[in-house]
Structure 1
Amino acid sequence: MPSFDIVSEVNQVEVRNAVDQSNKEVSTRYDFKGSDARIEVSEKVLTLFADAEFQLDQVKDILLGKLSKRGVDVRCLDHGKLEKVSGNKVKQAITVREGIETELSKKIVRLIKDSKLKLQASIQGEAVRVSGAKRDILQECIALIRKEITDFPVQFNNFRD
């Protein structure tokens, strides 16, 4: 019975490379000369530091540009709130979300059941497994999911016949 998994994965190596490139660009740019603008990485949290809110927005733009050039979908980023550190320095935490949350996986399962396609969908941890009788029906399901789920990046892998 053919099946595939719907997952949401982020290449952590590409994220780290994009952060390193962004830090290098920030350190060499003239408008950041003498400022404390930087990006720090810990597990799945990116912390942006800057001297002012305007500079923080500039650092964020640089980071988003580098991430998109490296093929990382920026929809997986969850921007935290802006925090004042000391004086007029600011920081912002950006979380890299991986895996499909239960709320979204329930929405995907409901979408598949409401589509009246002859498929079975089951939630398996942070992935949704879809199985059906024919490969064509599974491909219709992939097209349906791509069309309906636009606010969160999903990938389709582990396709088996």
Structure 2
Amino acid sequence: MPSFDIVSETDMQEMSNAVNQVIKEITTRYDFKGSKASIELGDQSITAIGDDINKLNTVTEILRAKLVRRNLEPKCLEYGDPQDASGSTKRQVITIKQGVSTELAKKIVKKIKDEKMKVQAAIQGDQVRVTGKKRDDLQAVMALVRGMDTDRPLSFTNFRD
């Protein structure tokens, strides 16, 4: 029986490359000369630091541009509120979204069931498994999910025929 998984994964190697490009641009740009602006990649988050809110916004805009250039969806980032840091700087923690959240998975399953397609959708941890008898039905589900407005990029993996 054909099946596939709906997942939300971020390529951490590409994310690391994008952050390294931002670091390189910060060190070479004239408007960042002598500033304490920086960016750092953690396991599941990115920490951006700027002298003031404007420099912090510039760092996050550079990050967004580098993500687009490296074919990563900017929707995979969740921006926290800017906080005061040491030395009168601003800090912002940006969380990298991984996996399909429970509420999004329920929304996907509900949308599939509302369309009355001849497939079964099941939530399995941080992914949604869709099975059906015909490959065409599964491709219709893929088109339906692509058309949905989600808070994170979704991809389809593990397609079995």
Range of TM-score over shorter length: over 0.9
| TM-score normalised according to structure 2 size | 0.97
C-alpha distance in structure 1 between counterparts of 2:113 and 2:31, whole Å: 54
1:157 and 1:27 map into 2 onto residues whose CA distance is 38
Equivalent residue pairs, number: 161
Alpha-carbon distance in 1 for matches of 2:97, 2:80: 12
Cα shift at 1:87: 4.7
- Identity over aligned pairs, percent: 51
Query: What residue is the counterpart of 2:114 in the other structure?
Result: 114
Give unmatched runs, 5+ long, in structure 1: none
Structure 1 Cα separation of the partners of residues 40 and 151 of structure 2:
26
Q: Does 1:134 align with 2:129?
A: no
Distance 2:14 2:148 in 1: 27
Q: CA deviation at 1:42?
A: 1.1
Report the counterpart of residue 105 of structure 1 in structure 2: 105
CA contact (8 A) 2:49 2:89 kept: yes
TM-score normalised over the length of structure 1: 0.97
**4+ aligned runs moved over 6 Å, structure 1:** none
In structure 2, what is the Cα distance between the partners aligned to 1:150 and 1:100?
10
User: For residues 42 and 87 of structure 1, what CA distance do their matches in structure 2 show?
Assistant: 22
Is 1:78 aligned to 2:85, yes or no? Answer: no
Q: Distance in 2 between matches of 1:43 and 1:151?
A: 21
Deviation digits for residues 79-136 of structure 1, max 9, x if unmatched? 0001011353101000000000001001111111111001100011110000001000
Which runs of 5 or more residues in structure 2 are unaligned? none
Instruction: Determine the structure 2 residue equivalent to 1:58.
Output: 58
Corresponding residue SS for 1:81: coil
Between 2-11 and 82-91, the greater mean CA deviation after superposition: 82-91
Q: Does 1:153 align with 2:133?
A: no
> 2:81 is paired with a residue of what secondary structure?
strand
For residues 103 and 158 of structure 2, the distance between their equivalents in structure 1, rounded to whole angstroms, comes to 22
